[in-house]
Amino acid sequence: MRQIFTTALTLWLSLSGLATAQVADLRSTTQFRVCADPANAPMSVKDGSGFENKLADLFGKIMDRPVTYTWFPSGMGFIAKTLRAGTCDVVMGYAQGDELVQNTNHYYTSVYGIVTRKDNELAAVDHLTDPALKDHPIGVVAGTPPATIMAQAGLAKDMKGTDLMVDRRVMDPIGDLLTDVSDGALDAAVLWGPVAGPRIKDDPDLQFTPLLKETSGPKMFYRITMGVRPEEQEWKRELNSLLRRHKDEIDQLLRDAGVPLVDDYGKELLQ
């Protein structure tokens, strides 16, 4: 019996070691393999035009590896079908604190804001409890933090909601909201900065006002990291080193894209 136990234990340890090695070997050392949504403009797009695509290109160049993609629509099953399946090694943009992935250090912080026409009477509004917002049609993505504050502020009847989780290959809810603001069907839209900022940065008629003055309800700012598999500590450290050493290049890439950057506490817009 003792010999059987010893043999079984040895076999178990061997298999455990093999499993560990297999997990460690999931990461490619010859390619920079990215998990991404093919139609999540302006962040990731299959044609490579998104700012996360350009960030991936930067990292591929730094590491001297070709950039390859596993494409899958964001939402339910995205991490399981991409990162956890081992077909790719990094999600370029992931909110800090999500337990589905291991987060790198954050490489930028951004904020929700209000998109209006520059000539609209709401152009001066910079907080969601401003009474000026009442009785004006306002677009918002259902389930996002500002929708909660808006409802608490008595704006529910004025809100035009759109779904958060959609297949962006066939639907463009953010684009629809921005078109409605531009055309005057909506007086404002409250949107996540990295989604709205790049889309309107060259629009002569629209503006994005960051929500830096909210004092209650969910926070309006979030730190964005890269996501890797929980077991891959060495890979996380390697990416953290690159993020630190190339911070200026990354910041410039994001600014050029039109992403509104704020300090780590969401209190001040960075220029």
Per-residue pLDDT of the chain (271 residues; tens, 9 = 90+): 334 333 333 333 333 333 333 445 689 999 999 999 999 999 999 999 999 999 999 999 999 999 999 999 988 899 999 999 999 999 999 999 878 899 999 999 999 999 999 999 999 999 999 999 999 999 999 889 999 999 999 999 999 987 666 666 767 889 999 999 999 999 999 999 999 999 999 999 999 999 999 988 899 999 999 999 999 999 999 999 999 999 999 999 999 999 999 999 999 999 7
- Cβ-contact 160, 178 below 8 angstroms: no
Q: CA-to-CA distance for 76 and 59, rounded, in angstroms?
A: 27
Distance of CA 182 to CAs 142, 150, 189, 200, 205, Å? 20, 21, 10, 10, 7
Distance of CA 159 to CAs 131, 156, 189, 213, 271, Å? 14, 5, 9, 20, 31
Instruction: State pTM to two decimals.
Output: 0.87
Give the rounded distance of the alpha carbon of 53 from its chain centre: 13
3-state DSSP assignment of residue 180? helix
